[in-house]
Structure 1
Amino acid sequence: MDQRPPAEETALDRLTALVAGDLATVNEVILDRMQSPVELIPQLAGYIVASGGKRLRPVLTLACARLCGHDGSRAPMLAAAVEFIHTATLLHDDVVDESDLRRGQASANEIFGNKPSVLVGDFLFARSFQLMVQDGSLDVLRILSEASAVIAEGEVLQLAASNDTGTTEATYLQVIEAKTAALFGAACQVGAVVAGAPAEYEEAVRSFGVKLGMAFQLIDDVLDYSALQARLGKTIGDDFREGKLTLPVVLAFSGGDETERTFWRRTLEEQDIRGDDLDHAIALMRRHGALDATVERARLYAAQARAALDGFAPGTMRDTLRDVVDFCVDRDY
């Protein structure tokens, strides 16, 4: 049996190692700024912060700052702000989705309840803005505040489309660009801003982040119907049980006959899910090539992400960032 580590882990490990010193500072800032005399706040925040995430977004902030020539102390503070925004959205997402698992363990709302999870998410959003104000850059504040607003809009758009089999591919892509890709793009862009990079470099890393985020989310959509729980960190079919209209479902529904569409309406719109419905859903997706088509769309975004870095000189940081695109796309599916 082949025991070699997956190539995507190697790429992320390499990128993380390149910014290891700054990432240690990020972790110190996170631990410091999630403290509060209100005991439940650090208890709940600490639970989700320590729940096994790879810190991909703050790593991207640090890496893009280095790529653009920054070697100061601003990037770690803003990378911590990015992680607080991300963590706050996770807390809110799990409440909205009524999720009981996060990365393979009980979600914060399952342990602490919905109300504390929402309020601690609000606290972390506030902490992120305190870090931005401390940095003092109006450009940084503009970028991250706009991203935060877009994420919230994406959440509402997804809620409006939830359990709606009439959701189109265009609408779904709009949802994930807002919910996922916007923060990837902002995380990369603020790295260029703190480096004082020219506008064309700032736009290049922003575009890199957005396209990477799109590819990342599309592969997540596929993994929900095909990956082992140990690799994915959650059970297969969570999206299906929650009635989420992700791209594989949208494509399978649009390609299906009326009998198949009746099945999708019963399971997703009416939430009438029976014993072998998940297996049948996966079979329909494979029949219509919906999973493969979603992967191909992810690969197109990945190619655009790699191309966005073409204007930077070849080097370890640029090349490793391009390898991380493969980390996000070439996961088991």
Structure 2
Amino acid sequence: MALVLPFEPNEPSIEALVRLVSADMNRVNATILSRTGSDVAMIPEVANHLISSGGKRLRPMLTLACAALCDYRGEGHVKLAAAVEFMHTATLLHDDVVDESDMRRGKLAARKLWGNEASVLVGDFLLGQAFKMMVEVGSMQCLDILSNAACVIAEGEVMQLAAAKNTATSEDDYLAVVRGKTAELFAAACEVGAVLGQRTKTELGACRSYGMNLGIAFQLVDDALDYGGSQAKLGKNVGDDFREGKITLPVLLAFRRGDGPERAFWQKCLETGEVTDAHLAQAIGLLTKHRALSDTIERARHYGAIAKDALALFPPSAAKDALMEAVDFCLSRAH
């Protein structure tokens, strides 16, 4: 079952962003391929299974675009963008093990093909390669930002683990998880691009704010899509968050707004994990009844507006236009 969430016509795209960074992304992709090489055959097999599976490469594109926004003319942005993508890929490999996920980007998850142990260890290999590239760039500030991001992401994952199946989780608690596990890497990806451009503290903060709020909006749309999207858009099964007992914003809103029997339904399904397609259909019905999906999208729009406002201090440019449209694209995924 899929719902059509309300959005305006003329769906935005990230074509402007893709065009802006096209030449640099070719170099980033070449760097990614070269850095997954290893004499241990399983490492490139596992890594390339996920890396070549059609991800948008949004985070590294943000690094390149923010470097362009800040008039950087060097070479370091290519390695930092590749490092950002490796960090992201490593978290996906680890997440699928923790969540026991079967699908990722429309394909079988690496853990289903090579096992949990290989997925975790190859994720660790990619993190190691990411930090090697950071060191090679030679910016202690960029190394500090990305290494701190790695710690915050891990903290966010542990926070999510602690909140799983717990319907007492507050919206503030949930947003703290989102900031850690998702938005922090968006923020760091944008900030390091600005650092390379040797911009002021205010401009660095603006790029970081853009990435942080874009990341929050991105995750909130994902939360809604798990119940109101399609497998083609998600790259995984609709309702996986529900089956895994994840507490996401739509669930929190429907739970708070529901009556006693409805809350009992959520508690039983999320705590036991024993859910059927009929349970999922009932959950979607409750989410619709209490406007939980549409209100989640409204919150995403709010954070998207903050992201756009953060860029207001930069003069007009192709990079600024592309970054602004990237916000609209992230929000439009729910259409």
**Shorter-chain TM-score range:** over 0.9
SS at match of 1:164: coil
What is the TM-score normalised by the length of structure 1?
Answer: 0.96
Choose 143-152 or 159-168, whichever is displaced more. Answer: 159-168
Alpha-carbon separation, structure 1, partners of 2:230 and 2:45: 30
Give 1:211's aligned residue.
Answer: 213
Q: Which runs of 4+ in 1 moved over 3 A?
A: none
Report matched runs for 1:115-134 at 5 Å: 115-134=117-136
Match of 1:262 among 261, 264, 270: 264
Give 1:155's aligned residue.
Answer: 157
Alpha-carbon separation, structure 2, partners of 1:184 and 1:122: 20
Alpha-carbon separation, structure 2, partners of 1:271 and 1:152: 24
Give 1:59's aligned residue.
Answer: 61
Q: Does 1:32 align with 2:27?
A: no
What is the TM-score normalised by the length of structure 2?
Answer: 0.96
Alpha-carbon separation, structure 1, partners of 2:149 and 2:35: 21
**Does structure 2 retain, via aligned residues, the 8 Å contact 1:26–1:77?**
yes
Corresponding residue pairs, total: 327
SS at match of 1:276: helix
Which deviations, in whole Å up to 9, do the C-alpha atoms of 1:171-229 show, x marking residues without a partner?
A: 11000100000000000000001111121111100000000000000000001111122
Alpha-carbon separation, structure 1, partners of 2:34 and 2:264: 52
Alpha-carbon separation, structure 2, partners of 1:163 and 1:309: 37
Give 2:323's aligned residue.
Answer: 321
Alpha-carbon separation, structure 2, partners of 1:178 and 1:74: 26
**Does structure 2 retain, via aligned residues, the 8 Å contact 1:8–1:331?**
no
Give 2:6's aligned residue.
Answer: none
Q: CA RMSD in A?
A: 1.1
C-alpha displacement at 1:275, in angstroms? 4.1
Which deviations, in whole Å up to 9, do the C-alpha atoms of 1:141-169 show, x marking residues without a partner?
A: 10000000000000000000111111111
**Does structure 2 retain, via aligned residues, the 8 Å contact 1:207–1:305?**
yes
Percent of aligned pairs with the same amino acid: 54
Choose 205-214 or 164-173, whichever is displaced more. Answer: 164-173
Runs of 5+ unmatched residues, structure 2:
1-8
Q: Pick 1 or 2: higher relative contact order, CA cutoff 8 A, min separation 6.
A: 2
Runs of 5+ unmatched residues, structure 1:
none
C-alpha displacement at 1:272, in angstroms? 2.4
Report matched runs for 1:224-303 at 5 Å: 224-303=226-305
**Does structure 2 retain, via aligned residues, the 8 Å contact 1:266–1:273?**
no
**Does structure 1 retain, via aligned residues, the 8 Å contact 2:170–2:252?**
yes
Give 1:186's aligned residue.
Answer: 188
Give 2:11's aligned residue.
Answer: 7
Report matched runs for 1:96-135 at 5 Å: 96-135=98-137
Alpha-carbon separation, structure 1, partners of 2:12 and 2:129: 32
C-alpha displacement at 1:231, in angstroms? 2.3
Alpha-carbon separation, structure 2, partners of 1:275 and 1:122: 36
Which deviations, in whole Å up to 9, do the C-alpha atoms of 1:26-61 show, x marking residues without a partner?
A: 011111111111110011001110011010000000
